[in-house]
């Protein structure tokens, strides 16, 4: 496959990945399908969701490069060495954006959702209810004690209902889409380099 066709294929493939990242991140603003969480976002929303890794990282910072990369694969003014050189820069932006969304998703999954749960104070022996992150493992515990591998722990979140599963599914989707975007943008950087040096092998009528 010539570099021009490869660029076009990569650009087109990035569009649905951007859509998945943006949609999933927006849905995460309503944990457990509860619209009230947005009104008190600082307390009830997971910080990684507010970082907008899916909207900004895997979304906008990949969408703009995707438009240029796809255009580079067409025959015409963009189908030249200059266009391929620019695609390297745009692809690098896509790599940065994808990496941002990927890291935000990993942190969000590992640290768990923000929810209303019962907290037992061992010092005073009292139990209180509060908003927080009951599954926050501080990125150290990946054993069966981690909530990701122990579904019975998910019931610790009293509100919103099902927020743990909600959190895992959506962060997983953003993580997967940004990971694939990262790979595609990295491939385009090498493809753009070859296209810049050797041409796009596009046929002229």
Bigger pLDDT: 5 vs 106: 106
pLDDT at 125: 66
Q: Residue 143 gets which letter from DSSP?
A: S
Length of the chain: 205
Q: What is the pLDDT of residues 76-134, one digit of tens each?
A: 444 577 888 888 999 999 999 999 999 999 999 988 999 988 876 666 667 788 888 88
Q: How far apart are CA 10 and CA 8, in angstroms?
A: 5
pLDDT at 39 over 60: yes
Q: How far apart are CA 150 and CA 117, in angstroms?
A: 17
User: Is 205 within a domain?
Assistant: no
pLDDT at 123: 67
pLDDT at 78: 44
User: Is 41 within a domain?
Assistant: yes
User: Is 52 within a domain?
Assistant: yes
Structurally, the chain folds into a number of domains equal to 1
User: Is 203 within a domain?
Assistant: no
pLDDT at 77: 43
pLDDT at 204 over 50: no
User: Is 204 within a domain?
Assistant: no
Can you read off the two tokens belonging to residue 27?
A: 């849905």
Q: Residue 79 gets which letter from DSSP?
A: S
User: Are residues 105 and 24 in contact, defined by beta-carbon separation less than 8 angstroms?
Assistant: no
User: Is 88 within a domain?
Assistant: yes
User: Is 153 within a domain?
Assistant: yes
User: Is 68 within a domain?
Assistant: yes
> Beta-strand (E) ranges in the chain?
115-121, 126-132, 157-159
Residue 187, domain extent: 3-198
């Amino acid at each position: 496959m010539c570099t021009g066709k490869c660029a076009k294929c990569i650009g087109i493939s990035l569009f649905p990945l951007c859509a998945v990242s943006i949609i999933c991140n927006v849905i995460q603003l309503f944990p457990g399908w509860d619209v009230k969480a947005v009104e008190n976002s600082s307390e009830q929303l997971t910080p990684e969701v507010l970082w907008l890794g899916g909207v900004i990282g895997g979304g906008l910072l990949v969408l703009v490069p995707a438009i240029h990369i796809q255009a580079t694969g067409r025959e015409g003014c963009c189908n030249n060495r200059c266009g391929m050189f620019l695609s390297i820069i745009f692809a690098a932006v896509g790599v940065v954006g994808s990496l941002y969304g990927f890291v935000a998703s990993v942190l969000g999954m590992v640290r768990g959702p923000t929810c209303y749960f019962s907290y037992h104070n061992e010092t005073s022996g009292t139990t209180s209810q509060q908003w927080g992150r009951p599954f926050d493992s501080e990125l150290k515990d990946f054993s069966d004690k981690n909530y990701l591998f122990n579904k019975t722990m998910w019931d610790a979140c009293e509100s919103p209902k099902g927020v743990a599963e909600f959190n895992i599914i959506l962060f997983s989707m953003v993580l997967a889409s940004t990971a694939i975007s990262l790979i595609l943008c990295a491939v385009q950087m090498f493809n753009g380099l070859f296209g810049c040096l050797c041409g796009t092998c596009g046929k002229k009528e």
